[in-house]
């Protein structure tokens, strides 16, 4: 297995792309990122971090970074990967929770300072996760 981050946060991409494989899309919505993660989980990926990391709620930030482990080429070629059911449950619950909070609460609007702060917090939480992952 090898690590993979899916993110819409440029700061995460800039800081970690030299070390970790990253799928980055500036315009990806949180729900799109979670669904991309879900599709990969069904193909053998496993969540490293809970997809709703930190305490910031989905309707209060535009940023989303998901940290996965994906099967490496050998595991794909010999078909030795399995589907991690814990990850399946967590990602499905997270997709439902995110949709609920984004569509059924007041929407936040963001100025530049707030965007910069939220991007920083998302980055810090991923950084904590990468540090824990390496233990």
Partner 1 sequence: MNLELRKVQIKDIVFDAESKIVDGVLHVDPKFLEELVLEDSRVKTVSFDIARPGESVRIVPVKDVIEPRAKYEGGEVFPGLFREDMQEAGEGITYCLKGMAITSTGPIVGFQEGVIDMSGPCVDYTIYSSILHLCMIIEKQDYVDPHDHEEVVRLAGIKVAEAVGKLGFDCEEYDTETLEWKPIGEKYGEYPDLPKVVYVYNCMAQGLLHDSYFYGRDAKALVPTMITPNEVMDGAIVSGNCVSPGSKTTTYMHQNNAVIRELLKIHGVEINFMGIVLNPLMTTLKEKFRDRMLTVRQVKMLGAEGVIISQEGFGNPTTDLMIVCQELERNGIKTVIITNEDAGVDGMSESLPDSVQEANAIVTTGNSNATVMLPAMDKTIGILKEVERVCGGNVTSIQEDGRLLLEIHGIMGGHNLQGNTRLGAVTI
Cα–Cα distance between 51 and 132 in angstroms, integer? 15
97 binds partner 1 (CB under 8 A): yes
Give dist(CA 108, CA 124) in Å, integer. 21
Q: Which of 12, 41, 91, 125 binds partner 1 (CB under 8 A)?
A: 125
* Spatial distance between the Cα atoms of 101 and 56, rounded to a whole number of angstroms: 11
Number of residues that bind partner 1 (CB under 8 A): 40
* Interatomic CA distance for residues 20 and 5, integer angstroms: 7
Question: Where does this chain touch partner 1 (CB under 8 A) — which range of 16-24, 34-42, 73-81, 125-133?
Answer: 125-133
Of the pair 49, 78, the CB lying nearest partner 1 is at 49
By beta-carbon proximity to partner 1, the closer residue of 13 and 67 is 67
Q: Of the candidates 31, 32, 60, 75, which one interacts with partner 1 according to CB under 8 A? A: 60
Span 23-42, contacts to partner 1 by CB under 8 A:
none
Q: How far is CA 82 from the centre of its chain?
A: 20
Taking every pair of C-alpha atoms in the chain, what is the biggest distance, in angstroms? 49
């Amino acid at each position: 297995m090898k690590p993979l981050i899916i993110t819409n946060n440029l700061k995460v991409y800039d800081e970690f792309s030299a070390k970790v494989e990253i799928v980055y899309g500036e315009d990806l919505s949180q729900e799109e990122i979670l669904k991309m993660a879900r599709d990969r989980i069904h193909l053998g990926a496993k969540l490293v971090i809970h997809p709703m990391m930190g305490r910031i709620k989905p309707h209060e930030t535009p940023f989303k970074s998901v940290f996965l482990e994906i099967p490496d080429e050998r595991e794909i070629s010999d078909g030795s990967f399995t589907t991690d059911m814990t990850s399946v449950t967590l990602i499905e619950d997270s997709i439902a929770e995110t949709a609920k909070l984004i569509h059924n609460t007041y929407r936040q609007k963001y100025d530049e300072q707030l965007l910069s702060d939220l991007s920083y917090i998302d980055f810090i939480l991923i950084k904590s996760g990468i540090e824990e992952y390496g233990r």
